[in-house]
Amino acid sequence: MYGNLHRSCKNSDAPFAVKKKTWLTTSLRAFEKPYLTPLKSLLGVRPLTPNNLTIIESGVLGPIEYVLKRQRQFFEKVFSAADPETNCLSTAMQIASEAGAPGAHYIRSTMAAQPQQSREREAVKQAHESSRATTYKMFNSPLEPSPLCRCPANASPKEAHRIAYTRMRLSSHRLRVETGRWARIPREERICPCGQGVQDEHHVLLECSQTAAARRRLYPEDDCPRTLIELFGRDDQEKVAKLCRDVLILCEQ
């Protein structure tokens, strides 16, 4: 069976291949960690950064959607590339269907499934008000991929700026609003060293006296954004990324 299968479909076309065996399983959770760990490393964020926010920010498919897409492509290619009468997988499918086997049902349902809205976006939309997802929506209310993660190579900002920008948007920083959460300090007590309020993203980017010089270098007083939605909705996101970098250097010392 494997010989005929691999003559009609190369290993590289399979959704997941190890020693010539294709992963045809409904248990896809095992794929999440090896998929998300390198993604977070590439983005420059902490390993414990929420998975759903990481996927939205990067603009890639979630791990389960990715595997399902590859499986669907694999099944379609196998079933369309060979004569059904000589295709071992088709024969096995027919036997499995007649026996009511779960594998046959899984393949049929996978091939028939239509692309659905990202489960990550749906989870963030329904997030509780106290979650980090709510903070993320202040940066990215449309829940669209970061404009800096998929820039053409000749238009990309400096990588250090892009990483700071991503860390700020995903709350993967060491501002007191985040480190205080680790220590279970009440939010209202996570005060900035300037003494003017909670050291959160809005404060350090738009209000803090200790970062005022960094803001003035990039934005004149009459052009300085007043809210995170306004700041991260501007066309000049490369400039915003530089501001994030300068601010984190000052605040994470």
Give the tens place of pLDDT for each residue, 100-135.
788 777 888 887 776 655 667 777 776 665 568 888
Please check whether residues 218 and 108 belong to one and the same domain.
no
What pLDDT digit, counting tens, does each position of 182-215 carry? 999 999 999 999 999 999 999 999 999 999 999 9
Quick one: which of 118, 96, 116 has its CA closest to 108? 96
Please check whether residues 106 and 191 belong to one and the same domain.
no
- Give the residue from 69, 97, 120 where a domain finishes: 120
Quick one: residue 59, left, alpha or beta (phi over 0 = left, psi -120 to 50 = alpha)? Answer: left
What pLDDT digit, counting tens, does each position of 1-23 carry? 323 333 334 444 444 443 434 45
Please check whether residues 235 and 133 belong to one and the same domain.
yes
Cβ neighbors of 177 (< 8 A, separation 6 or more) are 171, 187, 190, 198, 199, 200, 201
Q: What are phi and psi of 70, to 5 degrees?
A: -65, -40
Please check whether residues 39 and 132 belong to one and the same domain.
no
- Alpha helices (runs of H) in 128-236, residue ranges in sequence order: 132-139, 159-169, 176-182, 201-202, 212-218, 228-231
User: Which domain range does residue 207 map to?
Assistant: 128-251
Please check whether residues 132 and 246 belong to one and the same domain.
yes
Please check whether residues 114 and 226 belong to one and the same domain.
no
Please check whether residues 113 and 140 belong to one and the same domain.
no
Please check whether residues 160 and 199 belong to one and the same domain.
yes
pTM of the model: 0.80
The residue with greater pLDDT, 147 or 117, is 147
Please check whether residues 221 and 152 belong to one and the same domain.
yes
Handedness of CA 202, 204, 209, 214 (dihedral sign): negative
Residue with tokens 């003017």: 196
